[in-house]
Structure 1
């Protein structure tokens, strides 16, 4: 194996296994770039990203610029003399000067089967859309948004109960394995990038907190996917008597029916535009998560109760 001088660029948990794998493979990590620490928790103290935390714990030099458009930041990046930069969910746009600086370019670990789901939230969008599979693409970066030629791809199925959290962990491990393989092939000249297909491109827009509100006028199968796609973040919820109640797990019941938003008899099933959504695990503000049976013992949500629908303002 050829030992490379690498810059690693990543921010969230998704990127940590790849950084660890490259380090364990014997490559020299000359710098780790991550987004700056952000205020977090009740005290709003600045908290470093998971990638920065890992890097510092293993003695790797860290840079946290707020932008890479500054010529001084670009000069600092180029001065490392890296063979390549590996990028995984970094979160900042790389200007052309940065893309061009490493000898072998910048190589990205992307959580979808490109060209489907280019953009910020490919894992969640794949589940929301009802895709049967997704995967990891290792790509050579260019100036476009996830448009560069592909080096390696590996697919995984999306099961009927797969959550975004499940898929995140699976894809992070696949990405870590593939990036080591890709760097070996690129360094040896045995792995050639192929252009992405011209057809089938879709855009995975960034998630917003308001996407978590359950719209009971939608089909139950769609809401089932929404609960799984937004687990663990930003989560799904509905409002009753002014209280926001989180839905942590649910399953569609195509045989159920009624006026959308109505609590149906037997268990905790809510009528939807098509079918019903059986709520399995819930959480009230300031309380621990509980299953539906325990929730109903401590909270009055009787059959016939009408919850606000998606086409109505939440109280």
Structure 2
């Protein structure tokens, strides 16, 4: 089958490789343009761009699509059976959605209609969902509103982190998109009830509010690392909290109060146990090693930066 592949981050790479390995013809790969990154701010290609060039595939990196009629024409001229979209990062206009013979199929990292939007993996962990999964959806102009072709679920536990769930769903997506192309299952409209949205995350989501209870704080740490991360301030130093779990201990201490041995009082009398932290300019450390080099005295406070 003659395809275009449209994706940018690590999440999309397994699907691209699986499609090529299965013998599909990848006429073009679309991804985000190279962007400044790292300390030197050198222009850096996204993971899909790197993988596509390694595979000898043609890569296109338009900065915009909505009013780029020359891109619409070039896309239509590819003569595609389908376009496969996985975390591409640009909204496809109707002219492009309608161009492939079987339309544009999206690999979406949630069980639609739950968690439409930009950050479904993190949202599932943040809200304590019992499961997440992948939906293969035929795209239309609305945000993740198109009819569903296939779904597969995975459990989300109290230990599930964003990277673990990301990798699991990425692998499922690569497998399901092959099935969708081979089987051409009938589209099923999304139900109108149960729709939720997962907004894009950014630096404003990093600070932790210790007025929340320990369960919700632990979820935030699991969901937001490595991006955008979670932080708290101690004596003006911003610390990254990389792993933490709720502790069954109860306390009367005010939220944010440091207890002994890396425990912190949280809202509702709950306690959060810190497991892994990082201070500026230093490597990440497990709590015991961290406390040998940086004191968190009992009775002092962790604040919201």
Fold match by TM threshold 0.5: yes
Q: Is the 8 A contact 1:220 1:254 kept in 2?
A: no
Question: Quick one: distance in 1 between partners of 2:175 and 2:301?
Answer: 49
Cα displacement (A) at 1:232: 1.4
User: Alpha-carbon deviations, 1:247-281, whole Å to 9, x = none?
Assistant: 1110001423221010012x111100030110001
Question: Quick one: distance in 2 between partners of 1:165 and 1:30?
Answer: 31
SS in 2 for 1:56: helix
Counterpart in the other structure of 1:47: 44
Q: TM-score, normalised by structure 2?
A: 0.98
SS in 2 for 1:113: coil
Cα displacement (A) at 1:225: 0.2
Q: Which runs of 5+ in 1 are unaligned?
A: none
SS in 2 for 1:263: coil
Counterpart in the other structure of 1:303: 298
Structure 1 runs (4+) greater than 3 angstroms displaced: none
- The number of residues matched between the two structures is 302
Cα displacement (A) at 1:198: 1.3
Counterpart in the other structure of 2:61: 64
Question: Quick one: distance in 1 between partners of 2:48 and 2:115?
Answer: 24
Counterpart in the other structure of 1:139: 137
Q: Does 1:226 align with 2:224?
A: no
Question: Quick one: distance in 2 between partners of 1:102 and 1:291?
Answer: 51
Counterpart in the other structure of 1:30: 27
Question: Quick one: distance in 2 between partners of 1:234 and 1:73?
Answer: 32
Question: Quick one: distance in 2 between partners of 1:143 and 1:96?
Answer: 6
Q: Which runs of 5+ in 2 are unaligned?
A: none
SS in 2 for 1:20: helix
Q: TM-score, normalised by structure 1?
A: 0.95
Cα displacement (A) at 1:219: 0.6
Counterpart in the other structure of 1:116: 114
User: Alpha-carbon deviations, 1:11-33, whole Å to 9, x = none?
Assistant: 00000000000000000000000
Question: Quick one: distance in 2 between partners of 1:218 and 1:287?
Answer: 28
SS in 2 for 1:250: strand
User: Alpha-carbon deviations, 1:122-148, whole Å to 9, x = none?
Assistant: 000110011010100000001100000
C-alpha RMSD of the superposition? 0.8
Structure 1 segment 1-315 matched on structure 2, within 5 A: 4-69=1-66, 70-186=68-184, 191-257=185-251, 258-265=253-260, 267-274=261-268, 275-308=270-303, 310=304, 314=305
